[in-house]
């Protein structure tokens, strides 16, 4: 298995532009997580999907952030409009869980720089 | 008080030493995770546990639910163990991360 796949690996964009990050979870996993990592705040959970349904999006910083999971093999995290403070590494992770969250497998991350 | 506290923040060890990293949390949890983040940035899940002890190679993770405390031990440490080790707990729908322990193992 290729593991969790994220694209792009690096993204540099100007303030105000729309940014879309993509994630393909491990086949068969039913939970997907989006995380953000910054030097100041460390790792933070942004949103969690289970069976393609958003379960908890309380970590999404503001309305500029949105996430979708149209099917079991694909998710997007969109920032519109982007701001310099959104610069971070964004990780996607997936797991197989029944009632209790299973072990999570992380993608390589997307390093976002907003100038 | 942070919901999860890790110690130490930084740790330098000599190759071969036994290493312990600690994690304390203040709320009820359903599971505790230990993650390893390599210098290149990639994150690997080492353990997920909700009770007792787990072992994988030279790594051992323990958790004491009553004391709300978990430890990660590395036996016979090696320079390739140099990384940031992060504990995280899941409770309900939340995942809360510790700040991480930066480990450097000298040859």
Q: What's the pLDDT tens digit per position in A24-50?
A: 999 999 999 999 999 888 899 999 899
Q: What is the mean pLDDT of chain B?
A: 91
Q: What's the pLDDT tens digit per position in A47-106?
A: 989 999 998 888 898 899 999 999 999 999 999 999 999 999 999 999 887 555 568 899
Do A44 and B97 count as a contact with CB atoms less than 8 A apart? yes
Calculate how close chain A gets to B13, using CA atoms only, in Å.
Answer: 24
- Which tokens hold the place of A17? 């532009």
* Most A-contacting residue of B28, B40, B43, B99 (CB-CB within 10 A), to test interface: B43
Do B42 and A109 count as a contact with CB atoms less than 8 A apart? yes
Distance CA A8, CA A21 (A): 7
* Most B-contacting residue of A32, A104, A108, A111 (CB-CB within 10 A), to test interface: A104
Distance CA B82, CA A48 (A): 30
| Distance spanning both ends of chain B, measured CA to CA | 37
User: Cβ distance B88 to B100 under 8 Å?
Assistant: no
Do A101 and B30 count as a contact with CB atoms less than 8 A apart? yes
Contacts of residue A107, defined as CB under 8 A and 6 or more positions apart, other chains included, come to: A3, A4, A5, A6, A23, A91, A92, A93
Q: What's the pLDDT tens digit per position in B83-107?
A: 999 999 887 667 889 999 999 999 9
């Amino acid at each position: 298995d290729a593991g969790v796949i994220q694209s792009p690996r690096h993204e540099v964009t100007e303030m105000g532009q729309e940014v879309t990050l993509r994630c393909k979870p491990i086949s068969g996993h039913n939970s997907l997580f989006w995380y953000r990592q910054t030097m100041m705040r460390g790792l933070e959970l942004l949103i969690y999907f289970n069976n393609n349904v958003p379960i908890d999006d309380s970590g999404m910083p503001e309305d500029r952030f949105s996430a979708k999971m149209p099917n079991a093999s694909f998710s997007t995290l969109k920032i519109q409009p982007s701001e310099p403070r959104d610069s971070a590494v964004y990780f996607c992770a997936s797991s197989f869980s029944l009632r209790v969250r299973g072990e999570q497998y992380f993608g390589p991350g997307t390093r976002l720089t907003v100038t | 008080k942070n919901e999860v506290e890790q110690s130490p923040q930084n740790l330098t060890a000599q190759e071969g030493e036994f290493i312990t990293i600690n994690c304390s949390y203040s709320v009820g949890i359903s599971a505790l995770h230990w993650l390893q983040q390599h210098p290149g940035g990639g994150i690997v899940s080492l353990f997920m546990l909700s009770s007792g002890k787990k072992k994988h190679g030279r790594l051992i993770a323990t958790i004491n639910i009553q004391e709300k405390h978990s430890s990660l031990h590395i036996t016979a440490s090696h320079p390739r163990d140099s990384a940031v080790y992060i504990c995280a707990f899941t409770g309900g729908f939340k995942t809360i991360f510790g700040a991480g322990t930066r480990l450097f193992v000298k040859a």
